[in-house]
Amino acid sequence: MASPVSSNDEGAFKTPKNVRVRSPLSTGGTPITIPASPFMKKLGCGTGVNVYLMNRWEKQNASPWAVKKINTKCVSKQVSVYQQRLSEEAKVLKEINHPNIVGFRAFTVAKDGSKCLAMEYGGEQSLNDLIEKRKESGMKAFPAAIIEKVALHVARGLQYLHNEKKLLHGDMKSCNVVIKGDFETVKICDVGVSLWLDENMKVSAPKAEYIGTEPWNPKEALEGGEITDKADIFAYGLTLWEMMTLAMPHLEMLEDDDEEDEEDSVEESFDEDAYYERLGTRPPLDTKALGSSYKRMVELFYLCTEQDPKKRPSAAQIVQALESNNTL
């Protein structure tokens, strides 16, 4: 393995205007101009939020930012909840500094009270976008070397979060990995549902809630068990599986038919009970079709998706194995 201008700007405006604000979390309180969302390219969306590309023309050779804002149309009755979540994400992201994690740039509050989180623009596309495009082109799994590169860089980011910051990402999946160019850089994004870990790598806060995304959630999260750093590792394993299968975990039955006119019949034939029974388990993988070059990534996938969290490797162990080219 997921904020700027006005709560009414998503279509109710007449003359959109830039919002120039002084951010309490930006460097030196420098005034920051956030364009109204119609003037920014939409990069993607998540639960209750949209992310936009902000080009900073006011500074020569300035790198663009990704700006997250609340989608008030989707969360009209829960805006305060999502605003608070965005504030918490900004606080967490501000303390993170790692080459494999999208960096903090600014946190601003517009005149109407809506909040905007500006982040490093980590790449042109999400890993999920690349998976979808590869599938639509009729191609098969990503080359083993590319999967291994993504595996190493994401594991480095997770090792930093787990060991140095004592944070569980909490929503690992291909949508939350951004890629620049031809896999020149690989960065984890969206720490909005992260949870604090104690010295034993356990989520111990009594009211802490693991959110994640259903198809990537481990069994312990689905059944109210103890959550540790290994919850991220399970979802990480499924992210590698996505690159090998070009599919979403446990939704294979939706991949059988691409015909639009058969969409209703697919929906009617969807076995919801079977789907929920499979959640938190290891999805099938055709290792013969992949071939011998994928051996290390197949082994890593199997280790990361062990049912028992204690049998899964830590992020640090994954990094050590991949960097040294040792047996996983």
- pLDDT tens digits for range 35-75: 777 767 777 776 677 888 888 766 666 788 888 887 766 66
Give the model's confidence band at 291: pLDDT under 50 very low, under 70 low, under 90 confident, else very high.
very high
Three-state DSSP at 206 gives coil
Residue 100 and residue 245 share a domain:
no
Give the domain extent around 106.
37-120
**Phi, psi for residue 136 in degrees, rounded to 5:** -65, -25
User: Alpha-carbon torsion 228, 231, 237, 240, what sign?
Assistant: negative
Residue 198 included in any domain: yes
**Residue 288 in tokens:** 């013969």
Range of lowest pLDDT (116-120, 177-181, 317-321)? 116-120
Residue 17: predicted pLDDT: 44
Instruction: Please report, rounded to a whole number, the percentage of residues in the chain having pLDDT higher than 90.
Output: 55
- What is the C-alpha to C-alpha distance for residues 106 and 20, in angstroms, rounded to an integer? 13
The confidence band for 13, taking pLDDT boundaries of 50, 70 and 90, is: very low
Q: How confident is the model at residue 241 (pLDDT cuts 50, 70, 90)?
A: very high
End of a domain among 74, 99, 120? 120
Task: Indicate whether 172 and 211 sit together in one domain.
Answer: yes
Lowest mean pLDDT among 46-60, 145-159, 207-221, 262-276: 262-276
CATH number at residue 233: 1.10.510.10
Q: Does residue 177 share a domain with residue 288? A: yes
CATH number for position 88 = 3.30.200.20
* CA–CA separation, 146 and 144 (whole Å): 5
Give tens-digit pLDDT for 207-232.
Answer: 899 999 999 999 999 999 999 999 99
Domain-located, residue 29: no
Residue that terminates a domain, selected from 120, 136, 165: 120
What domain count does the chain have? 2
Residue 104 phi/psi, 5° resolution?
-75, 145
Q: What is the DSSP letter of 3?
A: -
CA 102 – CA 114 distance, rounded (Å):
22
Q: What does the DSSP assignment read for 228-241?
A: BTHHHHHHHHHHHH
Q: Which residues make Cβ contacts (< 8 Å) with residue 129, sequence separation at least 6?
A: 44
Query: Does the pLDDT value for residue 1 go beyond 50?
Result: no
Picking from 112-116, 202-206, 246-250, 320-324, which range would have the lowest pLDDT averaged per residue?
Answer: 112-116
Query: What pLDDT does 11 receive?
Result: 36
Average pLDDT, the chain: 83
For 11-123, where are the alpha helices, taking DSSP H only?
A: 79-94
Cβ-based neighbours of 143, under 8 Å, separated by 6 or more: 293
Show the tokens assigned to 85: 């979540």
| Own/partner long-range contacts of 92-98 (Cβ < 8 Å, ≥24 apart) | 92/167, 92/191, 92/194, 93/117, 93/119, 93/191, 94/25, 95/165, 96/160, 96/161, 96/165, 96/191, 98/156, 98/157, 98/160
DSSP 269-302: H--HHHHHHHTTSPPP--HHHH-GGGHHHHHHHH
Task: Kindly state whether residues 178 and 241 are assigned to the same domain.
Answer: yes
Enumerate the active-site residues: 171
Query: In the structure, what pLDDT confidence band is assigned to residue 31 with cuts at 50, 70 and 90?
Result: low
Give the mean model confidence (pLDDT) for residues 287-299: 96
